[in-house]
C-alpha cells in the first residue's frame, strides 16, 4: 500500500505548505486549535509522547515541538517523500522525533495523544475508519486524547451544498475559477471521503471513545477531540 500527495493533489512536497493554505480555509486557525487541545489535556512540561497520523511535511509536528519542548513525537505517513520533507523540517529536534512509514492500521506505539491533520479523510470505508479509530484508542494511555482536524461534509444536500459553495469560494479567492474549484472536488473524491460530523462522532463512539467533542468548526472544516476514559 502506498500514497503520494504529489499524485493526489498535483503538488510537489516542497510546495505543499503553500498550496494547502490555498486549498483549505482556516488552515492556520485549525492547527492552532489542535495545539490548544493538547495544551489543555497534556502536562506542558511533561515527557509526553504524541503520534502524528498522516504527518505529511511535519508542519503540525514542528508547531507542537516548538510549543512543547519536552514532547516526543512519532510521525506516521505512507508517503516517503513527505516524510523526508518532515525529517528536514524537524532536523533541529531530531532527537525527539521518530519517523515511521506506514498506515493508520499498523500497530501504533503507546502514546499520550494522537493528532491527525487533513489525514483521516483518506480512509474511505466506514468500517475501516472505525477500526483506525479503535487502533488509535488502543495506543492511547487512559485519559489520552485523539485530536483530528479535517473536512467534515454531511450527506444531506441541504447542508452539503452551502458548505461546498463556501469551500469553492475559498478556492476562487486563491485563483481558481468556480468551475476549476468544483473540478478539484471531483478529482479529490477519487481518493478522499468526507463524512458528516455526526457520522464521525458515531464512528469514534463505535471505536470505544465514550467522551467526544467538537472543539472548533469553520464551514466544512472542524477539529474533533476524543478522550480515552480512565474508568
pLDDT, one tens digit per residue, over 33-42 is 999 999 999 9
Angle at 148 between CA 146 and CA 153, to 5 degrees: 140
CATH number at residue 62: 3.40.50.150
Does the pLDDT of residue 151 top 50, yes or no?
yes
pTM above 0.75, yes or no: yes
Check: CB of residue 26 under 8 Å from CB of residue 218. yes
Supply the range of the domain harboring residue 69. 5-227
Any idea how long the chain is? 231
At 4 the pLDDT is: 44
Q: What is the mean pLDDT of residues 128-157?
A: 97
Tracing cell 500500500 back to the chain, one arrives at 1
Q: What digits encode the pLDDT tens for the residues 27-66? A: 999 999 999 999 999 987 889 999 999 999 999 999 999 9
C-alpha cell at 105: 492500521
d(CA 186, CA 79): 22
Angle, helices 178-188 vs 157-173, to 10°: value is: 120
Bridge partner residues of 76 (DSSP): 53, 100
User: Could you give the number of structural domains in the chain?
Assistant: 1
Three-state SS at 105: coil
Contact 83, 99 (CB under 8 A): yes
The secondary element (H helix, E strand) that includes residue 202 is helix 197-206
CB atoms within 10 A of CB 4: 14
d(CA 28, CA 118) in angstroms, rounded, equals 12
Give the lowest-confidence range in 6-15, 67-76, 146-155, 219-228. Answer: 6-15
* Rounded Cα–Cα distance for residues 211 and 105 (Å): 22
Amino acid at each position: 500500500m502506498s500514497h503520494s500527495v504529489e499524485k493526489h493533489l498535483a503538488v510537489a512536497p516542497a510546495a505543499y505548505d503553500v498550496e494547502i493554505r490555498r486549498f483549505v480555509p482556516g488552515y492556520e486557525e485549525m492547527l492552532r486549535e489542535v495545539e490548544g487541545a493538547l495544551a489543555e489535556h497534556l502536562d506542558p512540561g511533561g515527557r509526553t509522547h504524541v503520534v502524528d497520523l498522516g504527518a505529511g511535511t511535519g508542519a503540525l509536528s514542528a508547531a507542537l515541538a516548538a510549543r512543547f519542548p519536552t514532547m516526543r513525537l512519532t510521525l506516521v505517513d505512507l508517503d516517503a517523500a513527505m516524510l523526508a520533507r518532515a525529517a528536514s523540517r524537524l532536523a533541529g529536534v531530531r532527537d525527539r522525533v521518530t519517523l515511521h512509514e506506514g498506515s493508520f492500521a499498523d500497530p501504533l506505539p503507546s502514546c499520550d495523544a494522537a493528532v491527525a491533520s487533513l489525514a483521516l479523510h483518506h480512509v474511505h470505508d466506514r468500517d475501516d475508519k472505525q477500526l483506525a479509530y479503535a487502533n488509535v484508542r488502543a495506543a492511547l494511555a487512559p485519559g489520552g486524547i485523539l485530536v483530528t482536524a479535517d473536512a467534515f461534509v454531511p450527506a444531506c444536500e441541504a447542508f452539503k451544498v452551502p458548505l461546498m459553495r463556501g469551500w469553492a469560494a475559498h478556492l476562487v479567492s486563491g485563483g481558481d475559477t468556480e468551475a476549476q474549484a468544483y473540478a478539484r472536488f471531483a478529482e479529490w473524491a477519487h481518493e478522499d471521503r468526507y463524512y458528516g460530523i455526526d457520522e464521525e462522532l458515531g464512528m469514534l463512539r463505535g471505536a470505544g471513545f465514550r467522551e467526544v467533542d467538537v472543539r472548533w468548526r469553520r464551514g466544512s472544516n472542524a477539529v474533533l477531540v476524543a478522550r480515552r476514559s480512565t474508568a
